[in-house]
Amino acid sequence: MALIDLANPTRFLAFARAAIPIAGVLAAGLLAVGIYLAFFVAPEDYQQGATVRILYIHVPSAWLGMACYVVMTLSALGTLVWKHPLADVSQKAAAPIGAAFTLLCLVTGALWGRPMWGTYWVWDARLTSTLVLLLIYLGLIALWRTVEDPGRAGRAAAVLTLVGAVNIPIIKFSVDWWNTLHQPTSVIRLGGPTIHSSILTPLLIMAIGATALFVALHLSAMRNEILRRRVRTLRILAAQRGATA
């Protein structure tokens, strides 16, 4: 199905009605298998012990936190360049989900760091740039909530999202630079080239399941947003009719 076919909100709602249950069931199934593997099959890491099981949430949520920004960037391009009518719906729907996953990534990272590093938070490069990403998400959500007209809010948010997209690699680079300046290798990096397949398989399954969950959530939030705009339009029409009558 071409993207342009979904430009019609009614057609999108029909698509969403079909796609949301599929993605939801897929997510539930994959996550269930992933959780089973993570707790009952996957071995403990020889260094991290059982805390490696936190990473089965941490890594997928980190992945989604970033992927969601990519989705928002593409939607922002859709708003400003192609003027796709659903692009700003997609932007708005994605922001809270991305923020939630980024927050989850930070929380699980802190809970992993406490037993492993002895502290909930270090100003490690990755943690710091994830925190900045969360700040950007929250700023975008605040922007969406401030402007009442969805069209104007969408274009403003699109500009900010794109500026953020240009900036995030720069922020990442500068935080890396800053971090090596202040903290020479005090932190054990997880992973490296060799993650054993007994750990990698559940991780991948969890990641794919979480992505399916994201798709289901995003489509549902988009559907809600379309309905919200219909309600808004009907209210305005009703108010206008009331004013002229």
Q: Interface residues for other proteins in 118-157 (CB under 8 A)? A: 132, 135-136, 138-140, 142-143, 146-147, 150-153, 155-156
Q: List the one residue from 70, 178, 183, 239 that touches other proteins (CB under 8 A).
A: 178
By CB under 8 A, tell whether 101 contacts other proteins. yes
Q: The tokens of 217 are what?
A: 């959530």
> Rounded CA gap, 202 and 189, in Å?
20
Helix, strand, coil % in the chain, rounded to nearest 5? 85, 0, 15
The size of the interface with other proteins (CB under 8 A), counted in residues, is 79
Answer yes or no whether residue 34 interacts with other proteins by CB under 8 A. no
C-alpha distances (whole Å) from 61 to each of 11, 80, 103, 197, 227 are 31, 28, 9, 20, 28
Q: Which two tokens stand for residue 213?
A: 């969950």
Rounded distance between C-alpha atoms, residue 162 and residue 136, angstroms: 11
- Please enumerate, as own/partner, the contacts of 122-125 that have beta carbons within 8 Å and a separation of 24 or more: 122/183, 122/186, 122/187, 123/179, 123/182, 123/183, 124/179, 124/183, 124/187, 125/172, 125/175, 125/176, 125/178, 125/179, 125/180
Residue 14 found at the interface with other proteins (CB under 8 A): no
Q: To the nearest whole angstrom, how small is the minimum distance from the Cβ of residue 22 to other proteins?
A: 16
If one asks whether residue 234 binds other proteins (CB under 8 A), the answer comes out as yes
Is 171 among the residues that bind other proteins (CB under 8 A)? yes
Work out whether 217 is an interface residue with other proteins (CB under 8 A). Answer: yes
Residue 108 touching other proteins (CB under 8 A):
yes
Determine the Cα–Cα distance for residues 161 and 104; give it in Å rounded to an integer.
21
Residue 163 interacting with other proteins (CB under 8 A) = yes
C-beta separation of 63 from 210 below 8 A: yes
Answer yes or no: are the C-beta atoms of 72 and 80 closer than 8 Å.
no
Residues 63 to 82 in contact with other proteins, rule: CB under 8 A: 80
CB of 5 to other proteins, least distance (A): 15
Question: Does 204 sit near other proteins (CB under 8 A)?
Answer: no
> Does 111 help bind other proteins (rule: CB under 8 A)?
yes
188 contacts other proteins (rule: CB under 8 A): no
Q: Does 203 bind other proteins (CB under 8 A)?
A: no
Of 162 and 195, nearer to other proteins (C-beta) is 162
The one segment of 47-55, 67-75, 185-193, 197-205 that binds other proteins by CB under 8 A: 47-55
Minimum CB–partner distance for residue 193 and other proteins (Å): 25
